[in-house]
Amino acid sequence: MAERPLDVLNRSLGVQVLVGLKGGKEFRGKLAGFDMHVNLVLEEAEEIQGGESVRRFGTLVIRGDSVVYISPAG
């Protein structure tokens, strides 16, 4: 049986993820929470450009309608 997207996100709680947004920005951080609209809470978040960290944040809330992808940060 296929997995549901929110089940995959639930297993990713506490794990570092890479989040791509509309407009091309990327953020990396530990997934601390999410809701059914895919609003995300990242801890120890940082903005990524060209694979390098350019700005650090503590806790960051990302609105779900701006999310293009969520990937394991490996």
The CATH number of the domain holding residue 12 is: 2.30.30.100
Residue 4 has pLDDT above 70, yes or no: yes
pTM score > 0.75 for this model?
yes
Average pLDDT over the chain, rounded to an integer: 94
- The predicted pLDDT at position 3 comes to 82
Q: What is the pLDDT of residues 29-41, one digit of tens each?
A: 999 999 999 999 9
Residue 26 has pLDDT above 90, yes or no: yes
Q: Count of domains in the chain? A: 1
Helix ranges (DSSP H) in the chain = 5-11
Residue 74 has pLDDT above 80, yes or no: no
